[in-house]
Structure 1
Amino acid sequence: MAVEQRGIELVSPQERYGRPRDLLFLWSGTTLGIFTLVYGTVVVSLGLSFPQAVAAIVIGNLLAFPLVGLTSLQGPAVGTSTMAVSRAAYGPRGARALGLFGWINMVGFEAGGMVLITFAALALLDKAGVHDQGTGLKVAVIVVAALIQLVLPLVGHAAVMKAQKYFTWVFVAMFAIMAVLVGPKVDVAAGGGADFATFTIAVALVMSCGGLSWAPLGSDYSRYLPANASRRAVFLSAALGGFVPYVLLMTLGAAVGTVVKDAGDPISGLPGALPGWFTVPYLVLAMVTLFAVNTTDLYSSGLNLQAAGINVKRWVAVVADLVICVAITYVAVMSNSFNELLNAFLNLLIIWLAPWAGVYLSDWLRRRGRYDGPALFDETPASPYWGAGGVRWPGIVAQVAGMAAAALWINSTAFVGPISQATGGTDFSVFAGVIVAGVVYLVLERGTARRPAAVPAEAAT
């Protein structure tokens, strides 16, 4: 229970521990949550039939969660976080902007989780007879929730990994009960179905709220594994740990969406598909799963803040993030605009995440997965990743080009790109962002020296 002091600094071989299968429990405990269930209801709310929704869920997750497996591979080999590894493509200074984007990404999800935790706690208090819920009570609930949320991310990696292992089994049992209760009510024939353009929007949504948004966290949790850990086991444990829960829970959410029209509201709407006696257990489950998801987010957001060039200790970054989340939660709870804010946030994530994934994967392929750990933290011209003034312009140009491509082909509640409009509202923003950024990066880096890292021999096996 000692507070972990390490941030993005390299983990020495003597401090490595654990097995690849630990990642399976980490990602299962993280993704077995109410948020995942809600994403499935949102897919149905777009107008898809239940079979169409299941197809979009399977395709979107099948395309996205391998990214989590791939970004987990560098943790054991190098011993640092995913965003620190991104310095190889963007340069030690150029990668700061991506670290900042990653931090914003995590803070957004953390705030969303805190809002739902607050709503669930207030609903439980209402069930207990506390009907007068003024500003003072809401503030008190937010503060108490924040203090509870602070514990595991503050303690650090070992506590998070162990807690998520136990959370996994509890969540599996509870959601299995939910499936049994909802199953007989599912209307498979509900809805007339949607056109191809709407289906592409659903796939993009599934990818952005799933593997694509979790990919920047991959090595944050695999970095403590021994350098000779099986690469195959690391990849499969991380990818399947998220893929299986997402497919199952999103499908359950889609099923609930055929029963309850406002199932996208996980506190006052979704319980309508459940018998009254299960409402209180469901609200407790919602809170615990949200605490579990936020634990993973908060731990990584502190690392991303350091990767953004903010020179603070990891625990200080965690506390600062939570303070910001409390402020955002207060605004959202008081304005009752949570659903609108969440949808806009999820839609716009694609614009930076898809190009980042394209650059990261292209750089990984170009270097054959080999990076020089100490050189990633060398902010002098002697570093092989220095570029020009600490910026590797091929990575920056590729990122901007990918973001432009994604924006041109996105179809969201906040913005519809001109190519999307010209193609009947299709949304291929994820594919456009990944492909354009990846290709531009490889073209601009063609012929430049790779200078592969001095990775231990056993790490490359």
Structure 2
Amino acid sequence: MSEKTPTTSLIQFETRHILPIPENERNGSVWSLFAIWVGINMLPLTVVTGAIASGSFGLSIGWSIAAILTGNLIGALGAALHASQGPHLGIPQMLQARAQFGYLGGSLLAGIALLMFLGFFASILVVAKDSLVAVFPWIPGPPLIIALAAVGILIAIVGYDLLQKVMTVLSTLIAIAVIVAMVALIMHPEATVQSPDAGFTAQGFFGMLAIGITWQLAYAPYVSDYSRYLPKKTGPAAAFWATYLGLVLSSVFVMILGVLLGAANPENPLAALGEVLGPLGMGVLVIFGLTAAIINAAELYSGVMCALTAVQSGFRRVTIDTRTRVITTVVCGVIATLGALAGDSDFMLVFQNFVTLLLSVLIPWSAINLVDYFIVRKGEYAVYELFDRAGGRYGRWNVIGLGTYAIGLAAQAPFMISGIYTGPLAEALGYVDVAWVAGFVVSGVVYLLAVRFSERRRSRQLVLEETPTR
């Protein structure tokens, strides 16, 4: 069930894939975990997301920052709570879904998360390409997307050790570039003067707040993929704070840069770097574009963890080993790259709809997982039974988990606001996005009540079976 990991090379080639990480191979640290989550947000995509507040929603710079800060502070709580599970269990985040949804049911959730990871991989490719094309307009877009994708695929093939070492270096480099760009923009206040119409709207504020929450919860399905490499003695609190602070500090910081650029050029915030800052802005764009290709490997790496979880559940004859992981990485990378090439022309519209859909599918899973881990089981899981094809104590299909997930999705439907679908109650609420609140609360409460009812019913049944009959 395990493969021996080499320990002599400078960079260790990953061989554990979705298996539990033994204590003697947990070479992560609190600092490296913090650096991963700082670096992973230092992307041009984060800039574009922040620009939605001042560009698409028309919020003033002050209200944009308030919405971004509030949304990220709330959403990162969920992501960091998921991350705190990693040192204790030592397994990828979505593999743990088997405990809430069953051996086969968990593969459905892993499949949903896989689509999310491939979507982000594709989105980051498009925005990284845009950053470089803004500086080098003579470079054709499609070959550039393919080249950037190849970098991410190669790093993901090597695995966690290379990823965490690269991210530790890049997080510092890009942070310096972002600070320089932000200071330079502040020194050009005339460039970020907004129209008189910019200000506060409930729809814009809560819409951006929901995007901030979504942005952070999008990390929830893979935070334990990295915290599982922390030694168990590190404890949940250290994993929580390294993840929380890394995610919030980097996201808010880079999104604020996006707010300023969105005010300068609502149509193309990345181009504003070059337009306002000249050669300095061009240099920042090059750093953004090149480093995004490397950071993007994290999206693909965790997507592959989900794909392997689903493959192991659905195909008995497939052995999950290093060869399978490498092949899966290439296949997933190619699929996501084709998606980037296909969706390049209407990126902003596609991306905003993607983010809205992402929120609706992640919220119920997050609530169910957190309630199950912290309230129902209190962190006590039989890890190796999660690999039992017969389901073990968790079963092949968990009706309570899957049923609650469906209820959570349904609870959001009346309140949803997107370009694809708008719920019947959205207009009555002034198009303020509260779907995430309904989805999280309903999913968490229904799951807890259903589990408690099932436990009481099982206890009564045992009492009846043990009571002697006359």
TM-score normalised by structure 2 residue count: 0.87
Structure 2 residue aligned with 1:249: 254
- Mapped pair 1:219 → 2:224: yes
Q: Is the 8 A contact 1:354 1:406 kept in 2?
A: no
| Unpaired stretches in structure 2, ≥5 consecutive residues | 1-10, 313-317, 459-470
Selected match of 2:243 from 238, 241, 262: 238
User: Structure 2 CA distance, aligned partners of 1:414 and 1:293?
Assistant: 30
User: Structure 2 CA distance, aligned partners of 1:104 and 1:14?
Assistant: 33
Q: Deviations over 1:252-296 (max 9, x none)?
A: 2112222223244x2xx3325532212431221221342243111
Structure 1 residue aligned with 2:147: 144
User: Structure 2 CA distance, aligned partners of 1:300 and 1:74?
Assistant: 16
- Mapped pair 1:203 → 2:206: no
Structure 1 residue aligned with 2:303: 301
Alignment of 1:263-302 (within 5 A): 263-264=268-269, 266=270, 269-271=271-273, 274-302=276-304
Selected match of 2:439 from 429, 433, 452: 433
Q: Is the 8 A contact 1:82 1:220 kept in 2?
A: yes
- Mapped pair 1:50 → 2:86: no
- Mapped pair 1:316 → 2:327: yes
With over 3 angstroms needed to count, the CA separation of the structure-2 counterparts of 1:170 and 1:198, relative to structure 1, is same
User: Structure 1 CA distance, aligned partners of 2:302 and 2:143?
Assistant: 26
Alignment of 1:165-176 (within 5 A): 165-176=168-179
Aligned pairs, number:
433
SS state at 1:414 partner: coil
Q: Is the 8 A contact 1:302 1:315 kept in 2?
A: no
Q: Is the 8 A contact 1:75 1:224 kept in 2?
A: yes
- Mapped pair 1:36 → 2:46: yes
Q: CA RMSD in A?
A: 2.0
User: Structure 2 CA distance, aligned partners of 1:292 and 1:57?
Assistant: 26
User: Structure 2 CA distance, aligned partners of 1:34 and 1:183?
Assistant: 19
User: Structure 2 CA distance, aligned partners of 1:114 and 1:142?
Assistant: 6
User: Structure 2 CA distance, aligned partners of 1:111 and 1:376?
Assistant: 31
User: Structure 2 CA distance, aligned partners of 1:271 and 1:252?
Assistant: 10
SS state at 2:425 partner: helix
Q: Is the 8 A contact 2:152 2:295 kept in 1?
A: no
Q: CA deviation at 1:197?
A: 3.0
Q: Which amino acid aligns with 2:204?
A: T
Q: Is the 8 A contact 2:414 2:424 kept in 1?
A: yes
Q: Is the 8 A contact 2:88 2:236 kept in 1?
A: no
With over 3 angstroms needed to count, the CA separation of the structure-2 counterparts of 1:259 and 1:140, relative to structure 1, is closer
Q: Is the 8 A contact 2:264 2:272 kept in 1?
A: no
Structure 2 residue aligned with 1:75: 86
- Mapped pair 1:21 → 2:23: no
Q: Deviations over 1:342-368 (max 9, x none)?
A: 111111111111111111111112111
Question: For the pair shown, which has the larger CA radius of gyration, 1 or 2?
Answer: 2
Q: CA deviation at 1:430?
A: 1.1
User: Structure 1 CA distance, aligned partners of 2:28 and 2:70?
Assistant: 32
User: Structure 2 CA distance, aligned partners of 1:367 and 1:292?
Assistant: 37
- Mapped pair 1:397 → 2:399: no
TM-score normalised by structure 1 residue count: 0.89
Q: CA deviation at 1:2?
A: 4.8
Alignment of 1:45-194 (within 5 A): 45=55, 46-126=57-137, 130=138, 137-184=140-187, 185=189, 186-187=192-193, 191-194=197-200
Q: CA deviation at 1:26?
A: 0.6
Q: Which amino acid aligns with 2:351?
A: L
Could you tell me the percent identity over the aligned residues?
Answer: 27
User: Structure 2 CA distance, aligned partners of 1:420 and 1:363?
Assistant: 31
Q: Is the 8 A contact 1:152 1:160 kept in 2?
A: yes
Q: Is the 8 A contact 2:360 2:409 kept in 1?
A: yes
Q: Which amino acid aligns with 1:34?
A: P
SS state at 1:86 partner: helix
User: Structure 2 CA distance, aligned partners of 1:395 and 1:224?
Assistant: 27
Structure 1 residue aligned with 2:461: none
SS state at 1:160 partner: helix
Q: Which amino acid aligns with 1:100?
A: G
SS state at 1:424 partner: coil
User: Structure 1 CA distance, aligned partners of 2:46 and 2:196?
Assistant: 21
User: Structure 2 CA distance, aligned partners of 1:410 and 1:292?
Assistant: 34
- Mapped pair 1:348 → 2:357: yes
| Unpaired stretches in structure 1, ≥5 consecutive residues | 452-461
With over 3 angstroms needed to count, the CA separation of the structure-2 counterparts of 1:373 and 1:425, relative to structure 1, is same
Q: Deviations over 1:158-203 (max 9, x none)?
A: 1101100000110111001101111132448864423223321111
With over 3 angstroms needed to count, the CA separation of the structure-2 counterparts of 1:66 and 1:278, relative to structure 1, is same
